[in-house]
Amino acid sequence: MGTSNLVIVLLIALISCLSVTSGSSILFLAPFNGPSHWLMLKQIIRELASRGHEITCITGIKFGEKLPNYNEVFIDPPYPMWDKFPLAAIYNTKGYTSDFNNLFLYWRLGLDNSQYGLESENVQRFLNRDDLHFDLVVSEQFFQESWLMFAHKYNAPIVTISTYGYSDFFDRAMGLLTPWSSVPHMLLDYDDGMNFSQRIYNCIISSLDYIIREFDYLPKQNALAKQYFADLERQRGPLPSVQALQKNISLILVNSHPMLAKPRPSITGLVNVAGVHIPPPKSLPSELQRFMDEAKHGVIYFSLGAYMQSSEMPLEKRNTILKVFSKLKQRVIWKFESEKIGTIPSNILIQKWAPQSDVLAHKNVILFISHGGQFGTFEAMHHGVPTLFMPFFGDQHRNANRAIRSGFAMKHLFQDITEESFGALIEEMVDNKKYLETARAISTLFRDRQNHPMNETMFWIEYVLRHRGAAHLKSKAVNLSIAQYLLLDIIGALVFGLLVTIFIMKSCCCKKGRAKKLKNQ
């Protein structure tokens, strides 16, 4: 083949590859309207659209800005989270400190939110259309397994995005069994060096998670899928189970980093992308910029996230916190969602909303007071900011305890806040420079990667597109039973064979012994 012909062949191959990914049609599933989760998903949607992909998104949160190549199927009204899980109940209880309570919270939320989205009028109208085609389905991996049926409806590969980190069933979906001896359950703050009692507890909660998930939770998700995709079953015949659909996931992008979640065995198809939601710092609004620039003694940023709104906290605790802040020489930015807070000391700036990552990137920020969500924790690690955690539920206690063990954080439960205790912890973290030094060191480790997490995310999503699901990357171990995976069937066969051999040999020896005895008689 001549040089010119070779060049033509290579150009055709390149154009062919580009045509598979550029301008692909992607269905994006984001039914859970958690604002922090949406922050990560929104960044990925924006990047996909900028690369020429046509995005159709089923979501409970509007994108909020004009975006080319983007269509929205809005779950209207959105899932009523604040009605289902009232803030007053969370602020006034310690009930969500229990690992088991948090585990059941995820299942309850998953089933309720999945059904709510599927029965939405707009989603039902979308489901009934037969004129749509999608090259890929991308879905948040947040306890909404019935939604995997969209991939079956459109005969498309599926990529999922875990906004909260790892669960053991991710491993099973990719063909790997989680070693409970060294990998703690997602809710536990243990590291990979568990002692005997920790391993016992880890086995108990991990086993409970596995059993209830497989024999109660997933069958309920399967029933939801059969109910809301009934027309698809009438058209094509029996639907696959959600258990089978999980095994067909091509790729899981995981919001995790070994600095917070210790290293664990992995397999192709599980990709860490922590920090994908963190863009380069942008200019701050002028008032905020000036307030921070002029802070001679540093800035403390206080936010309880988008869900745990500070404006809803009990008045007594709010006044206690405000009194502590008023005595500080540092300036304080408090994300507070209402103007009804009373007299504000001059060193405090109230913001209904703040660009959190951009605030934490400012050189004068010396402390972040946070509820301990995954996203804010990673932002603090990325920007090297010491953190005082005030956890409430879910993974927040785990994130706080791991950060404390890493050396850049402390923790104070909201229920235990007093003027003396809260003030003392702030003073310790501001005055003791070891927290800032450790946070800076962790920032270096967090940022030190071969690829930026957004580039990593785009590569793998488009890889799955280019290779029509990338089935060649999927381990056949995903189809093995636990007995087969652990070689229990082979061990059983060997033990059985050994016992049979011993029995035969013993029988032979007995027969020879009896024969010899008869001969001697």
Residue type, position 429, single letter: M
Q: Tokens 């087969």, residue?
A: 484
365, 370, 373, 375 alpha-carbon torsion, rounded to 10°: -10
239 Rama class: left (phi>0) / alpha (psi -120 to 50) / beta: beta
Q: Return the structure tokens found at 190.
A: 């243990």
CA angle 147, 399, 43 (to 5 degrees): 50
For residue 251, the cross-strand partners are: 159
User: Consecutive 10-residue runs of the chain (521 residues): their mean pLDDT?
Assistant: 48 46 88 92 96 97 92 95 82 72 90 96 95 96 96 97 94 95 93 94 96 96 96 94 96 92 89 94 94 96 90 90 95 90 89 94 97 94 97 89 94 94 96 96 94 96 96 92 91 93 84 66 62
Cβ within 8 Å of residue 144, ≥6 positions away: 29, 31, 32, 110, 113, 114, 117, 221
d(CA 498, CA 502): 6
User: What is the DSSP track for 447-489?
Assistant: H--SS-HHHHHHHHHHHHHHTTT-GGGS-GGGGS-HHHHTTHH
Can you count the helices (H) and strands (E) in the chain?
22, 13
- Check residue 226 and give its pLDDT: 96
- Check residue 312 and give its pLDDT: 85
- Check residue 18 and give its pLDDT: 46
> 440 — phi, psi (to 5°)?
-65, -40
Q: Return the structure tokens found at 128.
A: 């009934």
Cβ within 8 Å of residue 359, ≥6 positions away: 284, 288, 292, 301, 333, 365
- Check residue 12 and give its pLDDT: 43
Closest CA relative to residue 337, chosen from 310, 369, 308: 310
What is the three-class DSSP state of 521? Answer: coil
How far is Cα of residue 175 from the mean position of the Cα atoms in its chain?
19
- Check residue 21 and give its pLDDT: 55
- Check residue 15 and give its pLDDT: 45
* Cβ atoms of residues 273 and 453 within 8 Å: yes
What is the three-class DSSP state of 338? Answer: coil
- Check residue 306 and give its pLDDT: 84
Cβ within 8 Å of residue 227, ≥6 positions away: 118
Radius of gyration of the chain (CA): 28
- Check residue 46 and give its pLDDT: 96
d(CA 320, CA 149): 50
Q: Cα separations (Å) of 106 from 83, 186, 288, 393? A: 16, 12, 37, 11
d(CA 324, CA 327): 6
Closest CA relative to residue 151, chosen from 260, 11, 251, 261: 251
- Check residue 154 and give its pLDDT: 97
d(CA 490, CA 149): 35
